[in-house]
């Protein structure tokens, strides 16, 4: 920073501009009374190279005490010299008093003791030659810069904080709205999913019911087919049985006819005539002493009838198996006939007995 000697400004304004520049360079925005020690050191570090160019001895004592000295940038020796010269200033002494001698280290022609002069910056310029006009213009420019740099920081901070709070509130509201929208969308999606699931369940139930109905119909059809098949089988079996019975009857008839028409009845001659027929009160007729044929009482419900053939009767194929197929047997019904003798007169019928 270069401070020109011919600015035509009051030294108080020069100091304020220099201080504003140092604060700006140090990044300090607080007033001097609110500085921290670290901020004070940064400002003093920026002021150290340029403070020697400020004519501190020409600054008003009140301004020096209120604005310069609190910064801590002025060396103690220079500050003491400043107060000494202020106390011994010739304007405050009687006219007969001796002139003030320069202090140690200060010469009478030291620039720090001389007021700044206006410089004619532009040759032939009437405006810039006017000292008061130029001074007022430069003062307004420097004071405007100082005012910009030394704005009331608490107010600025307050406005910034208010702006930040407003922005934060707006962001919070936006986030809340976004969250509400997200929740609404989630609820809508959940409702849609629930509706889809309900529809799927309904469709599944409908399909299950349809399948059940189809299965029932299939079962009914199968049962009907089974019943039809059973009926057909029953009819077939009935027809088969009828056919079998018919065939059996036909065979029986054929056998009977064969036996009657083809095979003559078997005749066995009596060998022992006294035993041709016997009688016993507890059984039916007895033929032969063997007995060749004995029919028991209640012969239709027991197997006590038997044949010991041949004994009193004999003939071709005379075995008990040819009569009834086994030694003991059961007889459902029987008849006994007596052959009529050849000498019986005509017209006389022979009696025959039937034994139940």
Q: Report how many helices (DSSP H) and strands (DSSP E) the chain contains, helices first.
A: 8, 6
Do residue 244 and residue 287 come from a single domain?
Answer: no
80-to-3, 48, 210, 244, 341 alpha-carbon distances in Å: 24, 18, 112, 157, 199
Mean pLDDT by 10 residues, the chain (356 residues): 56 87 90 88 88 82 84 82 71 42 54 61 46 49 47 58 91 95 95 96 95 94 91 89 87 72 71 82 84 86 86 77 79 80 53 41
pLDDT of residue 118: 52
Per DSSP, 262 falls in state I
Is residue 292 a part of any domain in this protein?
yes
Question: Are residues 31 and 20 in contact, defined by beta-carbon separation less than 8 angstroms?
Answer: no
Do residue 221 and residue 281 come from a single domain?
Answer: no
Is residue 59 a part of any domain in this protein?
yes
Do residue 301 and residue 317 come from a single domain?
Answer: yes
Do residue 15 and residue 70 come from a single domain?
Answer: yes
3-state secondary structure 61-84: HHHHHHHHHHHCCCCHHHHHHHHH
Collapse the DSSP code of 223 into the 3-class scheme (helix H, G, I; strand E, B; otherwise coil) and give the result.
helix
Question: Are residues 312 and 275 in contact, defined by beta-carbon separation less than 8 angstroms?
Answer: yes
Spatial separation of the C-alpha atoms in residues 28 and 15, rounded to whole Å: 17
Do residue 18 and residue 51 come from a single domain?
Answer: yes
pLDDT of residue 289: 78
Is residue 26 a part of any domain in this protein?
yes
3-state secondary structure 280-316: CCCEEEEECCCCCEEEECCCCCCCCEECCCCCCEECC
- Of the candidates 23, 57, 74, which is a domain's last residue? 74
pLDDT of residue 7: 57
Which residue, chain included where needed, has tokens 């006939």? 337
Spatial separation of the C-alpha atoms in residues 10 and 146, rounded to whole Å: 14
Provide the whole-model pTM.
Answer: 0.33
pLDDT of residue 112: 65
Is residue 131 a part of any domain in this protein?
no
Q: Which domain holds residue 255?
A: 179-263
Domains of the chain: total = 3
Do residue 184 and residue 201 come from a single domain?
Answer: yes
Is residue 303 a part of any domain in this protein?
yes
pLDDT of residue 332: 86
- Of the candidates 50, 74, 98, which is a domain's last residue? 74
Question: Are residues 336 and 323 in contact, defined by beta-carbon separation less than 8 angstroms?
Answer: no
Do residue 323 and residue 275 come from a single domain?
Answer: yes
Do residue 294 and residue 321 come from a single domain?
Answer: yes
Is residue 345 a part of any domain in this protein?
no
pLDDT of residue 126: 46
Is residue 312 a part of any domain in this protein?
yes
Is residue 132 a part of any domain in this protein?
no
Which residue, chain included where needed, has tokens 């700044």? 116
| CA-atom Rg of the chain in angstroms | 79
- Of the candidates 236, 263, 290, which is a domain's last residue? 263
Do residue 309 and residue 251 come from a single domain?
Answer: no
Q: Which two tokens stand for residue 93?
A: 């002494």
């Amino acid at each position: 920073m270069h401070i020109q000697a011919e600015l035509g400004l009051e030294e108080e304004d020069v100091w304020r501009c220099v201080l504003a520049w140092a604060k700006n360079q140090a990044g300090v925005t607080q007033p001097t009374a609110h500085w921290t020690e670290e901020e004070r050191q940064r400002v003093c570090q920026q002021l150290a190279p340029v403070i020697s160019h400020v004519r501190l001895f020409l600054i008003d004592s009140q301004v020096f005490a209120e604005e310069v000295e609190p910064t801590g940038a002025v060396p103690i020796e220079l500050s003491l010299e400043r107060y000494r010269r202020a106390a011994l200033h010739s304007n405050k002494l009687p006219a007969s008093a001796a002139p003030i001698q320069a202090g140690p280290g200060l010469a009478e022609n030291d620039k720090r003791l001389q007021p700044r002069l206006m410089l004619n910056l532009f040759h032939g310029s009437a405006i810039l030659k006017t000292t008061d006009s130029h001074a007022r213009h430069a003062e307004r420019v420097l004071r405007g810069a100082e005012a910009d740099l030394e704005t009331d920081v608490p107010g600025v901070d307050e406005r910034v904080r208010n702006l930040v709070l407003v922005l934060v509130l707006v962001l919070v509201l936006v986030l809340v709205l976004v969250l509400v929208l997200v929740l609404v969308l989630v609820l809508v999606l959940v409702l849609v999913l629930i509706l889809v699931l309900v529809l799927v369940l309904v469709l599944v139930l409908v399909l299950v019911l349809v399948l059940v109905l189809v299965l029932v119909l299939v079962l009914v059809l199968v049962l009907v087919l089974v019943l039809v098949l059973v009926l057909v089988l029953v009819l077939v079996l009935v027809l088969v049985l009828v056919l079998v019975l018919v065939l059996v009857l036909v065979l029986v008839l054929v056998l009977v006819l064969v036996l009657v028409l083809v095979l003559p009845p078997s005749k066995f001659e009596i060998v022992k005539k006294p035993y041709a027929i016997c009688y016993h009160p507890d059984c039916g007729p007895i033929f032969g002493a063997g007995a060749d044929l004995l029919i028991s009482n209640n012969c239709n419900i027991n197997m006590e009838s038997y044949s010991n053939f041949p004994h009193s009767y004999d003939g071709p194929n005379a075995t008990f198996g040819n009569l009834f197929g086994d030694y003991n047997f059961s007889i459902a019904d029987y008849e006994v006939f007596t052959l009529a003798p050849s000498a019986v007169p005509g017209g006389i019928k022979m009696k025959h007995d039937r034994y139940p």
